[in-house]
Amino acid sequence: MRIELKDLEFRYQMNTPFERLALHDINLAINPGTYVAIIGHTGSGKSTLLQHLNGLVKPTKGSVVIGDRTIEAGRKEKHLKGIRKMVGIVFQFPEHQLFEETVEKDICFGPINFGVPEEEAKKKARIALKLVGLSEDILEKSPFDLSGGQMRRVAIAGVLAMEPEVIVLDEPTAGLDPRGRKEIMDMFYQLHKDQGITTILVTHSMEDAARYADEIVIMHQGSIFQKGTPFEIFSQPEQLIEKGLDVPETVRFQLKLQKELGVRFDHPCLSVEDLAGEVKRVMERGSR
Amino acid sequence: MLDKMIFGRFVPLDSPIHRMDPRSKLLLVFFFVCVVFLANNLVTYAILGVFTFILIALSRIPARFLFNGLKPILLLIVFTLLLHIFFTKEGAVLFDLGFVKIYEGGLLEGIYISMRFTFLILVTSLLTLTTSPISITDGMEQLLGPLKKWKMPVHELALMMSISLRFIPTLMEETEKIMKAQTARGVDFSSGPVKERVKSIVPLLVPLFVSSFKRAEDLAIAMEARGYRGSEGRTKYRQLSWQTLDTLLMCSLVVLTALLFLFRS
């Protein structure tokens, strides 16, 4: 399912003294089956942008095309449930949305809302639970008895059980330990690879963006500052640094080597392995 | 939707009303709430109305914003109006619809009551719109100060008040966040049959309660960690200062009361 944002503008609290421009001149197309990372400072409009992707907020100008539905500014929209079934959102700190008595009921909540029969929803809950790496014996527990990390996983399972075609992740690993972080990110990547789920990741982590994304969108002060493949984006690290944004550790290391040893790299390295190989190559070339 | 709510919200602008001492504003609200009940005819209600609108104009709060914020209460006002129109049987019959008669007294009474309601709400929201929660608490604490002699926990009450005022916007934000998260999971808060909508409150309220309790606990720990131990030996950084403007406001209240006494029937 293709998602397209056209000339989108969004203002918070229109016609009040608190009115604030959050997004402007956004033009972005997300093709089916891609992995897109959206990066930017706090307050750059990333989270607002992602809420447009399944009709949680309506643009104040421009339009959003989701599959065959168009959400246009200034028009009353009804029956957005169809869109929401296709586009699942994992919000920041999703564990705050847990409310049911048992883990199983909570995971089934989404699917049942979208009209899946109970038995089938339970099956989906088990599959989703396995995906997020939890064992079935917590199904009967109360979600409030779990640890923070487990709660996060259950909440994510609740979204996965809806079997969306597009999944939007708003800093899904914020506040997790490094291992949990990697497990969750790898899980989403695997899902993207295996089932072709379009994935949109909002993150602060340049490393994650560089490692997983096909395309990176950089937001700055409510508009798109740059977009391109990780390669394209990190080929000009100076521009990012100028805007006060981070670059992946590997690229930072390359920059430092270039500056201190005067060596030149042909391309930005986005993984440690790649970097090691490049450094070796460059050093050999240098010593020859 | 929620962002249009005006209760407990502070709009930081620069206006004579904003600059006034919170004590005078609190007194104003207190006396206004009392004198509103003095009005009982057209002239006195007009006087109250003029007074209210002068205050609003002075506060520089955009009228559109204020009235948008009133919308949620409009239903209540209309309801009281209708109740009076249909059930008060006084004075001459104005209309006879067969099954129900509308009396002059009922109509007037309805209009008066809803006007009284509107003025009360406008003036009280003006207090919170123009005064930061911290100033309100400071003002309250000072005004109630004398009661300490009779062992009233004035400081604690003020603290409770400031905490609840402080957390209204946070709670609103949280509500909106959880509403969005549950909407994304297929809950429909805004349409559908009433039964479904009532049921949809549960996925909203449970997370809200959980996070509120957690926040209360965190706040208590944070306060203790910074050595909070009640009002004992506590000094104030912000000092309140009573100015000419405040005295003028008090005078205007006296004039208002006098006028009301003069013109009421």
Residues 6+ apart with CB under 8 A from A114: A81, A84, A85, A162, B186
Mutation pick from B174, B185, B210, B215 vs chain A, by most beta carbons of A within 10 Å, is: B185
Residues 6+ apart with CB under 8 A from A147: none
pLDDT score for B5? 61
Give the total number of structural domains in chain A. 1
Percentage of chain B lying above the pLDDT 90 cut: 18
Closest Cα to residue A155, out of B214, B199, B182? B182
- CA–CA gap between residue A275 and residue A272 (Å, rounded): 5
CB contact under 8 A, B186 and A110: yes
CB contact under 8 A, A84 and B65: no
CB contact under 8 A, B186 and A162: yes
pLDDT score for B175? 92
Residues 6+ apart with CB under 8 A from B100: B86
Residues A43-48 have a mean pLDDT of 88
pLDDT band at A33 (very low <50, low <70, confident <90, very high): very high
Phi/psi at A165 (5° precision): -80, -30
* DSSP percent split of chain B into helix, strand, coil, nearest 5: 75, 5, 25
pLDDT score for B73? 82
Mean pLDDT of chain B: 85
Residues 242 through 261 of chain B touching chain A, CB cutoff 8 Å: none
Smallest CA–CA distance from A113 into chain B, residue: B186
pLDDT score for B8? 63
What pLDDT, in 10s, does the model give residues B18-31?
888 889 999 999 99
Domain carrying residue A253? 248-288
CB contact under 8 A, A13 and B65: no
- A273 domain residue, yes or no: yes
> For chain B, what are the domain ranges?
2-229+243-263
CB contact under 8 A, B186 and A51: no
Residues B129-141 have a mean pLDDT of 86
- A14 domain residue, yes or no: no
- A127 domain residue, yes or no: no
pLDDT score for B1? 44
pLDDT band at A78 (very low <50, low <70, confident <90, very high): confident
Mean pLDDT of chain A: 89
Percentage of chain A lying above the pLDDT 90 cut: 50
Phi/psi at A196 (5° precision): 65, 25
- A256 domain residue, yes or no: yes
Residues B170-179 have a mean pLDDT of 90
